[in-house]
C-alpha cells in the first residue's frame, strides 16, 4: 500500500509553478482572501537556516499568513518524501481543527505527485550501498550511474532526469537491495487515464524569456544577500547533508567556498541550473491534466 497522503478536499487549493514565477506574492494575497494557511511544497524550505537559497517567505510575510512545512530539520538531515508526506498530514489536520482553509504552495513536482497519489513503500536506505554509489558518482559523474539504471530499469529511469544524482542513486540502491524497481515510485501513474487532484490546482507561469530574466536576477540577488555566509554558517553549525547540498545555489556556494568556482562563476552556474530546473518543472506540471495555468 502507498504511504498515506493528506486527504485533499474542497477546503484545499494548490498553487504551483516553476521557480521564480512569483508564487509567494500571489499565495499571500490568496490566503488572506480565503482565510487560509499556507503549506509549503518545497523540498529545500524544510531545512532550517537555508533561507536565502530556498527563497523562503520573510518573517513579515509569515506574520501576515501562518506557514507550515518550513524549517523542519537541520541541513545535515536526510529528509525523504515520506517524511514530508507525514508532516503534511499533520499540518492539514492542524489547519482543519482550527477551521482554516489550506493553500498548498510550491514547485516541487515530486511532492505534488506523491501528495496526489501517495508513495509506494520502499526499502530503507542502505548506508553502505549508498556510500559506494555516491563515491562512484563523485568519480565518474551521474551520467555513468544513469546509464546503468537505464540498462536495468528503463521504465523507471525514464521518469528521472539524467543529472538527478540523488534519485539515480536511490534507484540503483533499491535495485541492489530488492532486484527490481517499481515504476510508480518515481512518479509514473498506473491506469489509462491520468489521476486527478480532488481539489483545484493553479499553475502560475511566466513567458519563458521573462522567467529566465527573473531567474538570473534572483541568482545575483541570492549571492548579494549573503548566500556564501549562510552556507558557511550552516557548515559551522553541523554541516549540510547530500540532499540539501545538491540544491541549486547551495551546490555552487559550496563549490565557491572550496575554491572550485569564483563567485561570478557560481552565480552563472546557479542561474543556469535554476533555468534547467524551471524547464523540468514545467514538463512535470503538464502531466497534471486538471491544472489551470495562469499568467503571473
pLDDT digits (tens, 9 = 90+) for 23-35: 999 999 999 999 9
Map grid coordinates 546557479 to a residue. 270
Mean predicted lDDT score pLDDT of the chain: 89
Query: In terms of pTM, does the model score above 0.85?
Result: no
| Mean pLDDT along residues 52-61 | 96
pLDDT value for 3: 62
Percent of the chain scored above 70 by pLDDT?
Answer: 91
Which positions ≥6 away from 1 have C-beta within 8 Å?
Answer: 121
Q: Which has the minimum average pLDDT: 75-89, 189-203, 243-257? A: 189-203
pLDDT value for 160: 76
Q: Degrees (nearest 5) of the Cα angle 2, 200, 187? A: 35
Percent of the chain scored above 90 by pLDDT?
Answer: 61
Q: What are 281's three cell numbers?
A: 518543472
pLDDT tens for 7-21 read: 899 999 999 999 999
pLDDT tens for 120-146 read: 666 667 778 888 888 888 888 888 888
Q: What are 2's three cell numbers?
A: 502507498
Q: Domain 12-120+197-205+282-295: which topology?
A: Rossmann fold (3.40.50)
pLDDT value for 196: 74
pLDDT value for 265: 98
The pairs formed by 25-34 with CB atoms below 8 angstroms and a separation of 24 or more are 26/204, 26/296, 27/65, 27/103, 27/105, 28/57, 28/61, 28/64, 28/65, 30/103, 31/65, 31/103, 32/64, 32/65, 34/101, 34/103
The correct CATH number of 127-181 out of 3.50.50.60, 1.10.20.140, 3.90.226.10, 3.10.150.10 is 1.10.20.140
pLDDT tens for 237-295 read: 999 998 899 999 999 999 999 999 999 999 999 999 999 999 989 988 988 888 999 98
| Mean pLDDT along residues 192-209 | 83
| Mean pLDDT along residues 107-118 | 86
Residue 102: strand pairing partners: 12, 37
Q: Domain 208-279: which topology?
A: Helix Hairpins (1.10.287)
Which positions ≥6 away from 123 have C-beta within 8 Å?
Answer: 174, 177, 178
Tell me whether strands 292-295 and 67-68 are parallel, antiparallel or unpaired. unpaired
Q: What are 272's three cell numbers?
A: 543556469
Edge-first strand order for the sheet with 36-40 is: 67-68, 36-40, 101-105, 12-16, 201-205, 292-295
pLDDT value for 207: 95
The domain segmentation of the chain, as residue ranges, is: 12-120+197-205+282-295, 127-181, 208-279
pLDDT value for 186: 46
3-state helix, strand, coil in the chain (%, to 5): 50, 10, 40
pLDDT band for position 195 (50/70/90)? low
Which positions ≥6 away from 199 have C-beta within 8 Å?
Answer: 8, 9, 10, 12, 13, 14
Amino acid at each position: 500500500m502507498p504511504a498515506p497522503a493528506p486527504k485533499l478536499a474542497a477546503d484545499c487549493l494548490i498553487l504551483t509553478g516553476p521557480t521564480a514565477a512569483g508564487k509567494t506574492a500571489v499565495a499571500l494575497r490568496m490566503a488572506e482572501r480565503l482565510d487560509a494557511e499556507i503549506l509549503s511544497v518545497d523540498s529545500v524550505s524544510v531545512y532550517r537556516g537555508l533561507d536565502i537559497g530556498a527563497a523562503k517567505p520573510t518573517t513579515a510575510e509569515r506574520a501576515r499568513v501562518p506557514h507550515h512545512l518550513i524549517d523542519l530539520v537541520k541541513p545535515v538531515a536526510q529528509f525523504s518524501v515520506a517524511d514530508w508526506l507525514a508532516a503534511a498530514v499533520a499540518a492539514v489536520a492542524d489547519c482543519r481543527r482550527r477551521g482554516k482553509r489550506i493553500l498548498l504552495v510550491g514547485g516541487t513536482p515530486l511532492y505534488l505527485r506523491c501528495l496526489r497519489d501517495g508513495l509506494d513503500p520502499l526499502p530503507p536506505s542502505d548506508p553502505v550501498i549508498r556510500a559506494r554509489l555516491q563515491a562512484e558518482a563523485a568519480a565518474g559523474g551521474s551520467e555513468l550511474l544513469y546509464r546503468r539504471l537505464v540498462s536495468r530499469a528503463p521504465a523507471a529511469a525514464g521518469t528521472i532526469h539524467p543529472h538527478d544524482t540523488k534519485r539515480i542513486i536511490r534507484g540503483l540502491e533499491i535495485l541492489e537491495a530488492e532486484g527490481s524497481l517499481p515504476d510508480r515510485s518515481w512518479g509514473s501513474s498506473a491506469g489509462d487515464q491520468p489521476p486527478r487532484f480532488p481539489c483545484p490546482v493553479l499553475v502560475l507561469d511566466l513567458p519563458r524569456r521573462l522567467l529566465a530574466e527573473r531567474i538570473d536576477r534572483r541568482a545575483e540577488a541570492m549571492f548579494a544577500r549573503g548566500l556564501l555566509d549562510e552556507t558557511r554558517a550552516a557548515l559551522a553549525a553541523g554541516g549540510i547533508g547530500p540532499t540539501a547540498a545538491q540544491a541549486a545555489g547551495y551546490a555552487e556556494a559550496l563549490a565557491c567556498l572550496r575554491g572550485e568556482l569564483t563567485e561570478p562563476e557560481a552565480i552563472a552556474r546557479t542561474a543556469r541550473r535554476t533555468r534547467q530546473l524551471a524547464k523540468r518543472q514545467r514538463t512535470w506540471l503538464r502531466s497534471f491534466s486538471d491544472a489551470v495555468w495562469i499568467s503571473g
